[in-house]
């Protein structure tokens, strides 16, 4: 049934799955830390085990010959941009709380739209801008706009810097992975990120084995769900829909994170969370409707 969907439908579903997988990172990282594994060590195991799984998948499903230029470009993006995004998003928590940081980070779709317009690489339509506005409004309602008076300026700069870095990261990844299966692209990306965290954990003396079966279980979920599934689905959707639509659809991530917090961390499910999630859902439906209209027009033109 899934194979009968149009390319746009499949890409949208891939991105929703990816956002939900990425939305699990915070909850699983908290649980992993509670099980006795430091953050950098947990991320090292996450990327190393995820890379090993992707290596096996790549070898069993793909015979494509990847040039060294493409390999090193993806490894470099993973080792720098992906590792920095992961680390800085945590480091910023030393200065500002989770909710304001999430608000600042999820301004990245607006940065993607601005950069796309400036570079002329992707057409920004009225439907895209409407969806972007709805998504940003949903984030604002769900998380709450940060108060500039009470926030540490270093934390704000780190949050906005991470958002801008992610806005640059998406187009760079889209370009680097062209012509490659998602599992192959993801493997080299994760290889770079894993190398950075592994070296960091060894240098800081934090590298250790997960201390219990519970910790191993959380690391396994981080590797499979938040790495293999998350990145493979992201790249599969990104190559079809482009950075802007990918960024807007990915704003479902904080809503899913909130739901996981309710079920596993015993946090409260508020009206604002539901309202924000509804606005983001409308944005995704609007983008999906726009993509369907474009596909229908293209099909009629071809016929």
Tens digits of pLDDT across the chain (303 residues): 445 567 878 888 999 999 889 888 878 888 898 899 998 999 999 999 999 999 988 877 656 678 889 899 999 999 999 999 988 887 887 787 766 777 778 888 888 888 877 776 666 677 778 877 877 787 777 766 555 446 678 888 888 889 899 989 999 998 898 888 888 899 999 999 999 999 999 999 989 999 999 999 999 999 999 999 999 999 999 988 888 888 888 888 877 777 777 776 666 767 777 787 788 778 877 776 665 554 444 333 333
* Residue environment code for 125-159, b if the CB has 16+ CB neighbours within 10 A, otherwise e: eebbeebbebbbbbbbbbbeebeeeebeeebbebb
pLDDT at 92: 82
pLDDT of residue 73: 94
Name every residue whose Cβ is closer than 8 Å to that of residue 34 and which is 6 or more positions away in sequence: none
Rounded Cα gap, residues 284 and 246, in angstroms: 10
Alpha-carbon distance of 77 to 67, in angstroms, equals 16
How distant, in Å, are the alpha carbons of 78, 100, 257 from that of 104? 22, 6, 16
pLDDT of 242 = 87
Query: What residues contact 158, with CB distance under 8 A and at least 6 apart?
Result: 88, 91, 92, 95
Distance in angstroms (rounded) separating the CA atoms of residues 171 and 65: 23
**Distance between CA atoms of 303 and 299, rounded to whole angstroms?**
6
CA neighbor of 129 nearest in space, from 137, 121, 119: 137
Tell me the whole-structure pTM to 2 decimals: 0.81
Distance CA(21)–CA(223), nearest Å, equals 11
Q: Which two tokens stand for residue 202?
A: 């060894």
Non-local CB neighbours of 217 within 8 Å, separated by 6+ positions: none
């Amino acid at each position: 049934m899934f194979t009968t969907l149009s390319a746009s439908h499949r890409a949208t579903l891939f991105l929703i799955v990816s956002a939900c997988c990425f939305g699990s990172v915070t909850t699983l990282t908290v649980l992993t830390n509670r099980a006795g594994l430091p953050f950098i060590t947990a991320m090292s195991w996450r990327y190393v085990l995820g890379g090993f799984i992707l290596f096996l998948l790549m070898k069993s499903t793909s015979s494509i010959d990847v040039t060294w230029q493409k390999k090193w470009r993806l490894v470099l993006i993973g080792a720098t941009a992906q590792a920095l995004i992961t680390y800085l998003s945590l480091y910023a928590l030393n200065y500002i709380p989770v909710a304001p940081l999430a608000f600042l980070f999820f301004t990245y779709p607006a940065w993607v739209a601005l950069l796309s317009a400036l570079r002329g690489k992707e057409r920004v339509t009225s439907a895209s801008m409407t969806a972007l506005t709805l998504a940003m409004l949903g984030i604002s309602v769900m998380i709450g706009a940060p108060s500039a008076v009470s926030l540490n300026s270093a934390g704000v700069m780190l949050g906005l810097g991470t958002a801008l870095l992610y806005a640059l990261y998406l187009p760079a990844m889209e370009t680097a992975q062209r012509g490659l299966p998602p599992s192959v692209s993801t493997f080299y990306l994760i290889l770079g990120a894993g190398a950075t965290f592994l070296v960091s954990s060894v240098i800081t003396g934090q590298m250790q084995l997960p201390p219990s079966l519970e910790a191993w279980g959380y690391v396994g979920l981080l590797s499979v769900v938040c790495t293999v599934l998350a990145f493979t689905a992201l790249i599969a959707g990104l190559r079809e829909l482009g950075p802007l639509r990918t960024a807007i659809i990915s704003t479902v991530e904080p809503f899913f994170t909130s739901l996981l917090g309710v079920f596993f961390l015993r946090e409260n499910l508020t009206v604002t969370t539901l309202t924000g999630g509804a606005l983001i859902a409308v944005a995704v439906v609007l983008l999906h409707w726009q993509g369907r209209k474009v596909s229908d027009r293209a099909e009629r033109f071809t016929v």
